[in-house]
């Protein structure tokens, strides 16, 4: 008999940073370039590690800051992926703000968050220069969370 656990993951980030692309890439191992960004989607996926099955519920959010659902999504989630685009400086600033809001909403509770820089395949259009690494490291040290940059087309991860 196997144990079944559940974890709720909320994917947050500014518009057009590739949140849905990251989720679909994780679930299907395919890259799809076109997505609808008008509504939230809830995906369910099971993973088994060491004979323990975990039901992963992934909430892919859309326009959360605009329609005021951020607080309810943060309350629903147990782990958070905060996505920004390396081609958009503003999206990094929004991601930092989301990390700060997570810390405010979830305290004193412990929470798990991953700051994910997306669109690494577009490094030629980078707007978050390598110098920003110190700012990323500062955000991560403040929240004690790991950070990674992702090229979803090539499925390449780079840790910080």
Tell me the sheet residues that pair with 58.
Answer: 9, 43
Average pLDDT over residues 16-41: 84
Q: Does the bond joining 108 to the residue before it have cis omega, within 30 degrees of 0? A: yes
Distances (CA, A) of 129 to 137, 153, 158: 13, 21, 15
Band of residue 81 on the pLDDT scale cut at 50, 70, 90 = very high
Whose CA is closest to 117, among 148, 146, 139, 89? 148
pLDDT, one tens digit per residue, over 98-116 is 988 888 887 667 778 888 8
* 3-class DSSP assignment, residue 100: helix
- For residues 49-54, give the mean pLDDT: 89
Ranking 10-19, 41-50, 74-83, 137-146 by mean pLDDT, the lowest is: 137-146
Give the whole-angstrom CA distance, residue 42 versus residue 76.
Answer: 12
CA distances from 103 to 6, 21, 24, 30, 151 (A): 22, 26, 27, 33, 27
Q: How confident is the model at residue 138 (pLDDT cuts 50, 70, 90)?
A: very low
Q: What is the pLDDT of residue 150?
A: 46
H helix runs in 2-159, sequence order: 19-28, 64-67, 70-76, 89-106, 133-143
pLDDT of residue 100: 86
What domains sit in the chain, N to C, each tagged with a CATH number? 4-159 (3.40.50.300)
In whole angstroms, give the CA distance from residue 54 to residue 75.
20
* Arithmetic mean of pLDDT over the chain: 76
Rounded to an integer, the average pLDDT of 120-135 is: 53
């Amino acid at each position: 008999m196997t144990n079944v656990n559940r974890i709720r993951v909320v994917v947050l980030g500014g518009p057009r940073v590739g949140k849905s692309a990251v989720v679909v890439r994780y679930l299907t191992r395919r890259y799809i370039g076109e997505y609808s960004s008008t509504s939230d989607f809830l995906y369910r996926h099971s993973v088994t590690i060491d004979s323990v099955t975990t039901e992963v519920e992934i909430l892919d959010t859309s326009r959360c800051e605009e329609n005021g659902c951020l607080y309810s999504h943060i309350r629903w989630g147990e782990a958070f992926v905060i996505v920004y685009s390396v081609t958009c400086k503003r999206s990094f600033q929004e991601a930092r703000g989301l990390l700060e809001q997570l810390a405010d909403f979830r305290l004193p509770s412990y929470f798990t968050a991953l700051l994910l820089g997306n669109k690494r395949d577009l490094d030629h259009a980078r707007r978050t220069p390598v110098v920003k690494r110190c700012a990323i490291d500062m955000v991560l040290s403040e929240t004690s969370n790991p950070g990674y940059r992702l090229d979803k087309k090539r499925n390449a991860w780079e840790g910080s």
